Amino acid sequence: MRLGIIGTAQAGTLEQLRSAVELFFRDPQLKQIIYLGEDAALDEVAAQLAHEQLDETAFLQRGVELACHGTADALEQLLRADRESERLSVLRRLPEPPACAIEMLEKWIVLAVHDKAVLEEDDVANAQVIVYGRADEAAFKRFGPRVFLTPGPLHKGCVGSVSLRGDGSLDIAILDLEGTTLQSESIAPATGKVVVTS
């Protein structure tokens, strides 16, 4: 199970935002994509993706046409586009500040906010991972039992991910827009043991 974390898109970077969304769409373990900006850029990208999808009647007509006269590649492309349209439901924007989003990965609580400065002690008390958008660079830092993660602004070319492993531990990573892991950290559930890799 994975959360994709995308930082704030700057004006003119909707293509980068779309690339980041499509990167996470390719992950079969994806649970949610959280956009950490305070703007409506994610809504614009979601509208673009939705506009490119066929409605149900058009999809069925096109499927019949391709099944009778098309190629296997064209049919696969149609089915892939249909699967991607279902993925739009995993896109999530943050609520209006000072509210924050909370996601659960089994027993792990992930708190998401644009600006971590608005968080109060009670907000952070039960969360193990705090993700935030307002930052100059991608980074994660561990403070006691908690990890703070930011992918930084999207124009810097990074996104974040929080993944639940089969043994119950979390993998926290910073990725480039091609999906290459630039930095990662694993947190074990019981001991809080940290393993840092680069």
- What is the tally of structural domains in the chain? 1
CATH number, domain at 137?
A: 3.60.21.10
Instruction: Let me know if residue 66 belongs to a domain.
Output: no
* pLDDT of 42 above 80: yes
Instruction: Let me know if residue 60 belongs to a domain.
Output: no
Domain that holds residue 173: 2-51+87-197
34-40 mean pLDDT? 91
Instruction: Let me know if residue 106 belongs to a domain.
Output: yes
* pLDDT of 174 above 90: yes
Report how far residue 112's alpha carbon sits from residue 149's, in angstroms, rounded to the nearest whole number.
Answer: 9
Greater confidence (57 vs 131) lies with 131
Report how far residue 134's alpha carbon sits from residue 36's, in angstroms, rounded to the nearest whole number.
Answer: 8
Instruction: Let me know if residue 152 belongs to a domain.
Output: yes
Question: 49: which 2 tokens?
Answer: 């993706």
* pLDDT of 25 above 70: yes
pLDDT tens for 135-153 read 999 999 988 888 999 999 9
Burial of 20 (0-12, 13-18, 19+ CB in 10 A): buried
